[in-house]
Amino acid sequence: MKSETKKNTATISNIKRNWWKEAVVYQIYPRSFMDSNGDGIGDLRGITEKLDYLQDLGIDVVWICPMFKSPNDDNGYDISDYQEIMEQFGNMADFDQLLAAIHERGMRLILDLVVNHTSDEHPWFVESSSSKDNPKRDWYIWRDSQEDKAPNNWESIFKGPAWQHDATTQQSYMHLFSTKQPDLNWENQAVRDAIYKMINWWLDKGIDGFRLDAITHMKKEPGLSDMANPNSLKNVPCWDKMMNVDGVLNYIDDMCRKTFNHYDIMTVGEANGVSVDQAEEWVGEQKQRLSMIFQFDHLQLWNEDSESQLDLIELKRIFSKWQKGLQNSGWNALFLENHDIPRIVSKWGNTEKYWFESATALAVMYFLMQGTPFIYQGQEIGMTNTQFDGIDDFDCVGAKNHYAELREQGMPEQEILHLLSKIGRDNSRTPMQWDATEHAGFSCHAPWLKVNPNYQSINVAEQLQDSGSVLNFYRRLIALRKAEPVLVYGEYDLVLEADEKIYAYTRSLDEQQLLIICNLSKESVQYYYDNKALREKNMILSNYTKGLDNDFLLQPFETRIYRLGKA
Ligand code: GLC
Ligand code: CA
């Protein structure tokens, strides 16, 4: 890596150096990134066309969401062949070209590893479902059942029962996600070995790691007994018997030993249900398991009440707990957006008067903590939630199931649409807004999912021209993180803890110290911080251009970074 050439010591202030700790990752949802052949669907060649854009931005690692063969019930998270490319996205030659082009630029590529389940069209499942005595029957989770009586009361994460009945064999298979995503039986060593073979095949091809999908669901509580109350917490079902169940780490260990540990790669687990107290088991340097995990604690602030304002005190508590919890022992993955959650500027920012200010203040807030920052496509230009006029505007299988369930419960159509448009995953899946031409420069054809109507004012082409754009702010932010080892390896400390509007923290490494300060409200806020260094001349980045009239007054959504200690 470029940043390692200067001073390639193995540790920095006792923290082990790794290329993936110094990297900035960009997440691509391939269906919506760039369409190279005019069929309205993004593809691999489209990604290759845009690599210069990513390199200029300062991206080191590209993560591509599933691009394997799939009937697309859940947009590629239902895989029918792990070693083939989805036809709509291109072919293996396109992939090889993409990988080579990424490596030529000194960048790296990680893929999505979806091994909690396959598609029901995967040959393994086709065999497994063919008869009770098929040798692959036990590769999935089958239990006796009746038409109207599932083996237990578990609910699917995409709504409805977690079981699908098969009339011929009078058994049901388990699916924690959609009916077309049967769960693999990880208890079966033959299943595990088949998965490892596939993982090593990709690693031998030269990819640089994986994002591990739904990794905490691989282990189910033995016995598969009923849950006390599958719908216990408001709208969030209780998943204790199918998420982060005791023993799941044995699977991870087995997988690491037989695959990942033989390569210089990065791994990031999607770790719903893992608490900060358990995190060291997953990412602790000594444990030799994963490089980092995506934790879900801050996402709960979304689910509880999608209408509510950001509870900043609670957010600070959550992030700080993770920062301190892994300090000197593991590593964090930092993210505010992905393909499963709404756009951050619509959620915690302000899409009207302070769109630029809030998009950039939120960026600084999470980006400069200790950990590897992830940017989700479009976040770097401040893309917003979209507008849904009816249920037909939704594509996501979870949203459709949710809609059907709420209709059945008698909720009025408008109310359902209102709810789904707040929480719907399609908000972040609309096509990337490249320019102001028809279909936002994503395609010359009507895209598979409607373009967000605001593409004429929010797009890459315009922001490239404008030095004061969200995009150019991200570019500066990325450059700053690369230039300052303190922003990668430095210790994190929350300051102004009780302030309800300001998120502020310091990063310290040896003699160096920076102060990061973000007003996350639409009001001006006076604050007090006792340090002589808080003067304009020590400010190294801000999202307000006009000079400061007062060092201790922040404008709405103003963010500033100060150098407190020696450079
Ligand atoms: C993960 C993915 C999500 C997918 C699910 C099932 O949560 O991020 O998009 O639907 O797993 O694979
Ligand atoms: Ca295409």
pLDDT of residue 6: 43
pLDDT of residue 455: 98
Buried/exposed code over 84-123 (b: 16+ C-beta within 10 A; e: otherwise): ebbebbbeeebbeebbebbeeeebbbbbbbbbbbbbbbbe
User: What is the average pLDDT score of the chain?
Assistant: 94
In whole angstroms, how far apart are CA 552 and each of 360, 531, 563?
A: 19, 11, 15
Of 424, 471, 472, 466, the residue nearest 449 (C-alpha):
424
Please determine whether the domains at 123-174 and 492-565 fall in the same fold group of CATH: no
Q: Counting atoms of ligand 1 from 1, which one is nearest the CA of 398?
A: 10
Of 208, 299, 300, the residue nearest 260 (C-alpha):
208
In whole angstroms, how far apart are CA 508 and each of 313, 481, 535, 538, 564?
A: 22, 13, 19, 16, 9
Give the Å distance between the CA of 212 and the centre of ligand 1: 10
**Domain segments of the chain: what residues?**
11-116+188-386+430-478, 123-174, 387-426, 492-565
Q: Counting atoms of ligand 1 from 1, which one is nearest the CA of 272?
A: 7
pLDDT of residue 1: 35
Is the predicted pLDDT of residue 4 greater than 60, yes or no? Answer: no
CB-neighbour burial class of residue 435 (10 A; exposed 0-12, middle 13-18, buried 19+): middle
Residues 67/88, Cβ–Cβ less than 8 Å? no
pLDDT in tens, 358-398: 999 999 999 999 999 999 999 999 999 999 999 999 999 99
- The mean pLDDT of 347-361, rounded to a whole number, is 97
Q: Please state, in angstroms and rounded to a whole number, the distance separating the CA atoms of residues 462 and 135.
A: 58
Ligand nearest to the CA of 177: 1
- The mean pLDDT of 314-332, rounded to a whole number, is 97
Give the Å distance between the CA of 214 and the centre of ligand 1: 6
Ligand nearest to the CA of 86: 2
Query: Which residues form ligand 1's pocket by a CB distance below 6 Å?
Result: 74, 77, 114, 177, 213-214, 270, 339-340
| Cα dihedral 324, 330, 335, 339 in deg (nearest 10) | -140
- Residue 213 annotated to the active site: yes
pLDDT of residue 5: 42
pLDDT of residue 536: 79
Which residue CA neighbors atom 12 of ligand 1 most closely?
A: 77
Q: Please state, in angstroms and rounded to a whole number, the distance separating the CA atoms of residues 3 and 547.
A: 32
Domain range 123-174, its CATH number among 3.40.1010.10, 3.90.400.10, 3.40.30.10, 1.20.210.10: 3.90.400.10
Q: Please state, in angstroms and rounded to a whole number, the distance separating the CA atoms of residues 312 and 500.
A: 6
Ligand nearest to the CA of 445: 2
Q: Please state, in angstroms and rounded to a whole number, the distance separating the CA atoms of residues 415 and 306.
A: 13
pLDDT of residue 326: 96
Ligand nearest to the CA of 77: 1
Among the residue ranges 97-106, 359-368, 499-508, 550-559, the one predicted with the least confidence is 550-559
- The mean pLDDT of 489-518, rounded to a whole number, is 97
Number of CB atoms found within 10 A of residue 541's CB: 18
Out of 118, 156, 157, 177, mutate this one to test ligand 1's pocket (max ligand atoms within 8 Å of CB): namely 177
Q: Please state, in angstroms and rounded to a whole number, the distance separating the CA atoms of residues 382 and 432.
A: 11
pLDDT of residue 10: 87
Q: Of 94, 270, 337, 395, which one is the catalytic site residue?
A: 270
Q: Tokens for 220, please give them.
A: 């189910």
Q: Counting atoms of ligand 1 from 1, which one is nearest the CA of 114?
A: 12
Q: Coil, helix or strand for 436?
A: coil
Out of 31, 63, 74, 122, mutate this one to test ligand 1's pocket (max ligand atoms within 8 Å of CB): namely 74
Is the predicted pLDDT of residue 7 greater than 80, yes or no? Answer: no
Out of 75, 175, 210, 213, mutate this one to test ligand 1's pocket (max ligand atoms within 8 Å of CB): namely 213
Give the Å distance between the CA of 207 and the centre of ligand 2: 23
- The mean pLDDT of 198-220, rounded to a whole number, is 98
Q: Counting atoms of ligand 1 from 1, which one is nearest the CA of 117?
A: 12
Q: What is the fold, at CATH topology level, of the domain defined by 11-116+188-386+430-478?
A: TIM Barrel (3.20.20)
- The mean pLDDT of 143-171, rounded to a whole number, is 95
Of 312, 346, 347, the residue nearest 499 (C-alpha):
312
Give the Å distance between the CA of 446 and the centre of ligand 2: 11
* Residue with more model confidence, 411 or 307: 411
Q: Coil, helix or strand for 149?
A: strand
Residues 190/116, Cβ–Cβ less than 8 Å? no
- The mean pLDDT of 132-141, rounded to a whole number, is 98
Is the predicted pLDDT of residue 303 greater than 90, yes or no? Answer: no
pLDDT in tens, 437-451: 999 999 999 999 999
Residues 252/115, Cβ–Cβ less than 8 Å? no
Is the predicted pLDDT of residue 477 greater than 90, yes or no? Answer: yes
- H-run or E-run covering 63: strand 61-64
Q: Please state, in angstroms and rounded to a whole number, the distance separating the CA atoms of residues 167 and 147.
A: 7
Number of residues that this document lists for the chain: 567
pLDDT of residue 143: 98
Of 285, 231, 273, the residue nearest 248 (C-alpha):
273
Give the Å distance between the CA of 77 and the centre of ligand 1: 6
Q: Please state, in angstroms and rounded to a whole number, the distance separating the CA atoms of residues 41 and 35.
A: 5
DSSP of 276-296, one letter per residue? Answer: HHHHHHHH-GGGTS-SEEE--
CATH number of 492-565: 2.60.40.1180
pLDDT of residue 305: 53
Record the pTM: 0.96
In whole angstroms, how far apart are CA 143 and each of 6, 65, 134, 169, 423?
A: 59, 32, 15, 10, 33
Q: Of 213, 357, 395, 491, which one is the catalytic site residue?
A: 213
- The mean pLDDT of 198-225, rounded to a whole number, is 98
pLDDT of residue 236: 53
Give the Å distance between the CA of 3 and the centre of ligand 2: 35
Among the residue ranges 70-79, 258-267, 296-305, 395-404, the one predicted with the least confidence is 296-305
Going by pLDDT thresholds of 50, 70 and 90, the confidence category of residue 13 is confident
Residues 422/370, Cβ–Cβ less than 8 Å? no
Is the predicted pLDDT of residue 234 greater than 70, yes or no? Answer: no
Give the Å distance between the CA of 111 and the centre of ligand 2: 19
